[in-house]
Amino acid sequence: MIGHTKEMRGGTLIEAIVTLVLGLLLVQMSLGALARGHTLHQGLLERADALKTVRIVRWVLRAELSKGHPGEDWMVHDADSIVLRAYRGVAFPCLITTGRLDVTYRGGRDPDPEKDSVLLVYESGETDVRALERWGPGASCSWRLGVSPSGWSAQQWAVEGVLDSGLVAVRLFESGSYHIADGALRYRRGRGGRQPLTSNALSTPESGIRTGGAGLGVSIVMKSQGGGDWTRWVSLARQIR
């Protein structure tokens, strides 16, 4: 019994050491697997965020810039900003009297004289920018245009100055600028603050607006915690004047 007890003790110690070593190995492998899984997961999140940022930049800037002409409606102000007339709607006049327009209007939002101006488009192709002074519901303009007749509303606008004949369309816009600064794409209306449109994941000033042989575009470089830059080119316009 004594000898047997000794054998048992020795075995317990060895087993305990082996178990401890194996346990430590297992813990290390487990932690390694968890860490690797976490890194992969983090990378996936970063990539998803990067793709979302690319999509937002492409969609927003392309939509805004395509509504105007370079040099007239928008211009690249610096490597990090584009100044533009951000068009928000279009109106077609039914009745023109001194400084007053009865129009049928369709847009992303209602007019706001506090921040909006109008671009008058004449039949000759000439244009003129005026301030929008007032607006309200109208009754006399019943046009329903295009393929989706709904969405148009009759309004009455008061516009600064005298209006010439031959007016075809009136475009509503606000002055604004898009910036790639402080880690995000930002929109600034007038002289207001710069509001972020994407997550704060851009690497600046490496990211920015670039012009060259390929036209105008945005070079996007994402911040990456795992090291290694994630870079994409978003083309906005083939040619700019």
Partner 1 sequence: MIGVTPHLKHVSDGFVLPLLLLLLLALTALAHSALLVATAEFRMSRIANDLAAAQQAAEGALVQLPGALLGLPGRVRVGESVVVDIEPVPTATLRVGVSRLSRESWFVQAEAQASEGRQASEAAVFWRLDPIARLTRLTGAVTVPTGVSRSGAARVETEALWTDAECPSMESALDSAFVAGSPKGVEPSNVAGSIGLGAITMDDIHRLVPPTLGRSGTPAPLDSLGSCGEATWNWGGADPVDTPCGLVHVVRSSTGDVDIVGGEGRGLIIIHGDLTLRDGSSIVGMLLVTGRLRLTNGAYFRGMAFAGEGVRVDPSAHIVGSICVAAASLNAASGALRVFLPLVGATRLGQY
Q: Does the footprint of partner 1 cover residue 15 (CB under 8 A)?
A: yes
Q: DSSP assignment, residue 111?
A: -
Burial 185-205 (b: 16+ CB within 10 A, else e): bbbbeeeeebeebbbebbebe
Shortest Cβ distance from residue 79 to partner 1 (Å)? 26
d(CA 43, CA 226): 7
d(CA 11, CA 7): 6
Number of chain residues interacting with partner 1 (CB under 8 A): 58
List residues bridging with 82 in a β-sheet: 76, 178
Q: Which is nearer to partner 1, 10 or 205 (CB)?
A: 10
Please report which residue ranges of 169-213 form alpha helices under DSSP H: none
Of 113, 144, 214, 231, the residue at the interface with partner 1 (CB under 8 A) is: 144
Q: Does the footprint of partner 1 cover residue 12 (CB under 8 A)?
A: yes
- Name the 3-class secondary structure at 232: strand
Q: Does the footprint of partner 1 cover residue 233 (CB under 8 A)?
A: no
Residues that bind partner 1 (CB under 8 A): 4-5, 8, 11-12, 15, 19, 22-23, 26-27, 30, 33-34, 37-38, 40-41, 44-45, 47-48, 51-52, 55, 59, 63, 66-67, 69, 87, 89-90, 92, 106-108, 119, 121-127, 143-149, 151, 164, 166, 168-169, 171
